[in-house]
Amino acid sequence: MSSDPGTEPRTSPVLSRIVALFEEGVREGDIQPVRNEPYHFFSAVAGTILFYVAALPHFVADLPEDHLSAERMELLESDAVAIAERLLGTSGPRPVPPRAPSTGDPS
């Protein structure tokens, strides 16, 4: 966080939305997270992706193949989804219930 109270990180709206969705999922019973800590969830999933993309080549000097190839990216996506599902306590995609039709009246 910035020391200047008049500034806000550009990620704040995104993180606020993630926290709100996480809390709604817990409240509605859609998720049963391993830890009821949205920032832990976010940092674990984002950290997995960031480490693989940016840091892995610095830890393994001679990677046997291009870790950013389309095939490897598909595997990373699959692994990141599996990690997210585990942390959220879900077993995979769930059907989205239909929303009530909007009346068009904003009041």
Mean pLDDT calculated for residue range 33-38: 94
Tell me the pLDDT of the chain averaged across its residues: 86
Distances (CA, A) of 33 to 43, 45, 49: 14, 13, 20
Mean pLDDT calculated for residue range 4-14: 76
Cα within 13 Å of Cα(69), Cβ side:
7
Residue pair 21/14 in contact by the 8 Å Cβ criterion: no
Q: How many CB atoms lie within 10 A of CB 19?
A: 15
Mean pLDDT calculated for residue range 80-92: 89
Separation CA 48–CA 83 (nearest Å)? 9
Give pLDDT, residue 81: 94
Q: Which of 34, 36, 13, 9 is nearest to 24 (CA)?
A: 36
Q: Is 2's pLDDT higher than 90?
A: no
Tokens 């008049």 sit on residue: 6
